[in-house]
Structure 1
Amino acid sequence: MTLLGAIEAGGTKFVCAVSDNALNIIERVSVPTTFPEETMEAVVDFFEKYDVDSFGIGSFGPIDVNPASETYGYITSTPKPGWNQFDFVGYLKKAFGKPIYWTTDVNAAAYGEYKLGAARDIPNSLYLTIGTGVGGGAVINGDIFNGYTHPEMGHIKVQRHPEDTGEGTCPYHGDCLEGLASGSAIEKRFGKKGIDLTKDHEAWDFTAYYLAQALMNYSLVLSPERIILGGGVMKQAHLLTMIQAKLEELMAGYLALPPMTEYVQTPGLGDNAGITGCLLLAQKILN
């Protein structure tokens, strides 16, 4: 029986799973993301119980996805203590010697949504996660899109909302999308987690404005057929309709798009988009 291994490596936790080739999950665990020696030891301990045929890894980044690079398979310039320049793929290859599909966590989620979720059978789609940070992945013509490196959609510049005087929180770019619209930015700038803010709080108008700008830019550059918005911030149900309305307003009829309720959606796979995508990528590398 073919066994697939999946690792959704997030900044807070690693989700590890083993499934059969039909994606029936045999076992799944969650491991805290502490330091590589501790977290990776727990990951290896979990997978050693199974004769896994391949792995799909979706990791927090930035990561090196260029197979010709000397640091391919590394987590690169992350500020997360201990993980900067960590050879993730090399570590797993040494432990198991099996084929590995290596990509970002958001790319994996984008692929999961394309194969089995809200973008099923739609060959050109985007997945954006708005949580502690903001990241995005693209599926173009049915394949994960990478160029020289992977997309970093959370760090595009957006225009300030006229009434927003708060300080952008990105340590690299200040007023980028992540610095203004991420969950951590909302909490730092308004003094409360998003879940504790009322629906009519100004934070949501600002956030919808920034995210709609981003979706406009992605639409103009990549022309996706569907955009999927996941992550903890998007669990505020009223935010989706605010973003859809603001995007339509910003577009001003310039670009032909599907109806907004079809074009911008939340994940069909819910919180399982990432781990499902990783299993599908483990399957893909065997074919």
Structure 2
Amino acid sequence: MVYGSIEAGGTKFVCAIGDGDFNIKERVSFPTTTPEETMKLVIEFFKKYQNELESIGIGSFGPIDIHRDSPTYGYITSTPKLAWQNYDFVGTLKEVFDVPMAWTTDVNAACYGEYIAGAGQGFSSVVYYTVGTGIGGGALQDGVFVEGFSHPEMGHMLVRNHPDDSFEGNCPFHKTCLEGMAAGPAIEKRAGKKGQELAEDDPNWDIEAYYLAQCAYNTTLMLSPDKIILGGGVMKQKQLLGKVYKAFDELMNGYVKTPKLEEYIVTPELGDNAGTIGCLALARDSKLHS
């Protein structure tokens, strides 16, 4: 008995097979090109395990349709990736694999992984942000995703400009939203070089921390979670968290007493495995609840 995991990212798909304890048996990666090319590789990978495959957990880039009673449930909808617009992701897999499938956003899957087996373990309310090429957020309350008419798009919350920042923003929809000001491409455009090429004491990191602190501030006042987890490639800069704590304290100005910041705003315990483990956990739980 094995479970399947699909992390469908905007740059690459990561597919994995694991057991009920989230031990990964095999993992592969494919570039995200067209549905015809990429999904062919995905299906070929899982066909090797077809006789023992119990279920598949999918965390996809979006926006996606998450409502089971919708005629386009399981679709990627209005993505900027033209080839993937209005693509029936779950339906395509269902044509080949007659197993339960869990379907959610890629950041929700990472959030679930941390909730089940990482930094969010043992807490009832967990929020996870991926800060990388883009910024996305997912929230869990008692093991259930916080959703309404659609899934959250917390990466596009509006933020105030840092006093020393004249950057006009990189988001084609909102300019100076969180993603437009703090995702990897925004750092590169502002600084003239990639984040990993900047020195640890570069003032651009103070600007970045200011926007991430606003993210944590807004999340705290809206959801009061037990834990805010900041993941993604940008958060691999070790000096960032301390700067976020300082800016967060200044923004909050004593209004809300939060848990100790070193235990409240954290990076993922599972690292780059959060999404894969989250998808495996969703696959396992979809089987339990099916």
Common fold, TM-score beyond 0.5? yes
Q: Which moved more, 1:194-203 or 1:225-234?
A: 194-203
1:36 equivalenced with 2:35 (yes/no): yes
For the 8 Å contact 1:257–1:263, the answer to whether it is kept is yes
| C-alpha deviation, 1:77, in angstroms | 1.1
Equivalence for 2:116: 115
Equivalence for 2:46: 47
Equivalence for 1:153: 154
Equivalence for 1:208: 209
Q: Which moved more, 1:266-275 or 1:78-87?
A: 78-87
State how 1:1-287 maps to structure 2 within 5 Å: 2-51=1-50, 52-287=53-288
Partner of 1:237: helix, strand, or coil? coil
| C-alpha deviation, 1:111, in angstroms | 0.6
What's the RMSD between the two structures over aligned residues? 0.9
| C-alpha deviation, 1:86, in angstroms | 0.8
For the 8 Å contact 1:8–1:58, the answer to whether it is kept is yes
Partner of 1:5: helix, strand, or coil? strand
Partner of 2:16: helix, strand, or coil? strand
The alignment's TM-score, normalised by the length of structure 2, stands at 0.97
Q: CA-to-partner distance for each residue in 1:199-224, whole Å, 9 max, x for gaps?
A: 22221111111111111111111110
| 2: CA distance, partners of 1:56 / 1:84 | 21
Q: CA-to-partner distance for each residue in 1:76-103, whole Å, 9 max, x for gaps?
A: 1111131111111111111212111000
| C-alpha deviation, 1:142, in angstroms | 2.0
Partner of 1:4: helix, strand, or coil? strand
Paired residues, number: 286
Q: In the alignment, residue 244 of structure 1 is paired with which amino acid?
A: Y
For the 8 Å contact 1:35–1:81, the answer to whether it is kept is no
Q: CA-to-partner distance for each residue in 1:173-213, whole Å, 9 max, x for gaps?
A: 10000000000111122211100111222211111111111
Partner of 2:83: helix, strand, or coil? coil
| C-alpha deviation, 1:69, in angstroms | 1.7
| C-alpha deviation, 1:21, in angstroms | 2.1
For the 8 Å contact 1:167–1:189, the answer to whether it is kept is no
Q: In the alignment, residue 16 of structure 1 is paired with which amino acid?
A: C
| C-alpha deviation, 1:22, in angstroms | 2.4
| 2: CA distance, partners of 1:92 / 1:146 | 24
| Identity score, percent | 58
Q: In the alignment, residue 28 of structure 1 is paired with which amino acid?
A: R
Partner of 2:180: helix, strand, or coil? helix
| 2: CA distance, partners of 1:198 / 1:120 | 34
Partner of 1:127: helix, strand, or coil? strand
Q: CA-to-partner distance for each residue in 1:46-99, whole Å, 9 max, x for gaps?
A: 000002111100011111111122211111111113111111111111121211
* Structure 1 spans left out of the alignment, 5+ residues: none
The alignment's TM-score, normalised by the length of structure 1, stands at 0.98
Partner of 1:218: helix, strand, or coil? helix
| 1: CA distance, partners of 2:79 / 2:143 | 29
